[in-house]
Structure 1
């Protein structure tokens, strides 16, 4: 059973706010609600949420401008839930510090899965643990020993392929933008060389996916970034 958590919903649309509240309460979580940016910042200190669900279209302040202040005042996982589906908005939100981005209309089970993932990472961090081994389907990623196996057999990766996979594995089930991956793996001078990243991801899919043409492990968020998908989300 999922451990109960404090969820702060920041959403100006009353109908969507009710839907979000019903969804997270059904999963056993406690809920606080804010209809604008000012109320959201006030509730951060009072409620001390574990997860913030943030809409970007707020009446008193653009949600993108709220990400920085939330990050400065809270360690909560920040999931943007927005109707804005432009890739530039998604990249901006992730680069500003959002942990995840879910586009409206959204599937409620997917939202709950993202929350479960966030809470698992938080429990590991609180316990002083570092996820040194990530397992998803037949793939095992051992970050401490820099080893990757598929069905128990070692998989040879190039240094760049491994570096990309390691970055994704350290934040599984979260989208990491192209820019961030390029900075982390190739350095700031190469943050616009998306073709480098595509080549590395193509190599990873050839070696790790059951069907590289229909990837389920390394998932693409179109024009935004990549996510390492854990297949046992239930």
Structure 2
């Protein structure tokens, strides 16, 4: 039974999340304190973390940043009452896999949890597959799906979960133009939920990390009015 950690100081919201997740076959642990939630999350025994932004003792952004800095790659779903894009950009930049804004329907939460766990499981499986095609080289970029590593030239580039998945998908499918909707479905595994602006945020962060000049990209090209494509050379 997949185990979910909910770090949420609002008892009513946390218990509602717990009830719906349990009805869908998940085991759930709730922690109301940010610091204690962070210590629990470090145990790396959970399939996914539902993390509220506003918490006592340690806020959700700090928890997310510290977990990623320590190499914890468990999917993180940030929860906030704020609707500003800047908050989403900040959370995604710190390594969160997704963002959900209060109020939200329990069915939407369950759908996102399932999608992220399935995506993460497939990523782990590909890492454990002894297949030489898991290493792809295009231009000066080398991506190793098994080791979850990326090199640009001689430099190792650190990517967040979704940045890595997005780059891997592009490099497996060079020269093909993909719409934002298609990429969202393939990488986030959700057709009906989420904000397509997430794609632009991740594309921009990828460019910052792999391009010599992110304003004039050599690899990830914007096809105006259509989407994006990876130019393999």
**Under a length normalisation based on structure 2, what TM-score does the superposition of the two structures give?**
0.63
Structure 2 residue 57 is matched with structure 1 residue 60: yes
The one of 111, 114, 127 equivalent to 1:113 is 111
State the partner residue of 2:67. 70
Please, which runs of 5 or more residues in structure 2 have no aligned partner? 135-168, 229-233
| Post-superposition CA distance 1:29-69 (Å, at most 9, x none) | 01111101111122124571110000011011221111112
For residues 114 and 66 of structure 2, the distance between their equivalents in structure 1, rounded to whole angstroms, comes to 24
Report the Cα offset of residue 73 of structure 1. Answer: 5.0
CA 1:66–1:201 in structure 2 vs 1: closer, same or farther (change >3 Å)? farther
Please, which runs of 5 or more residues in structure 1 have no aligned partner? 131-140, 149-156, 206-234
For residues 188 and 96 of structure 1, the distance between their equivalents in structure 2, rounded to whole angstroms, comes to 22
For residues 165 and 96 of structure 1, the distance between their equivalents in structure 2, rounded to whole angstroms, comes to 24
Structure 2 residue 204 is matched with structure 1 residue 182: yes
What is the DSSP-based 3-state SS (H/G/I as helix, E as strand, rest coil) of the residue aligned with 1:52?
strand
State the partner residue of 1:28. 25
The one of 199, 203, 211 equivalent to 2:226 is 203
| Post-superposition CA distance 1:100-134 (Å, at most 9, x none) | 0000001111111111111111221222267xxxx
For residues 214 and 81 of structure 2, the distance between their equivalents in structure 1, rounded to whole angstroms, comes to 31
**Under a length normalisation based on structure 1, what TM-score does the superposition of the two structures give?**
0.63
State the partner residue of 2:147. none
Report the Cα offset of residue 192 of structure 1. Answer: 11
**Counterpart mapping for 1:138-217 below 5 A:** 144-146=172-174, 157=177, 169-173=186-190, 176=198, 178-185=200-207, 187=211, 189-190=213-214, 200=223, 202-204=225-227
| Post-superposition CA distance 1:167-223 (Å, at most 9, x none) | 984454476353431243583744699xx98x6362249xxxxxxxxxxxxxxxxxx
* Superposition CA RMSD, Å: 3.7
State the partner residue of 2:158. none
Count of aligned pairs between the two proteins: 179
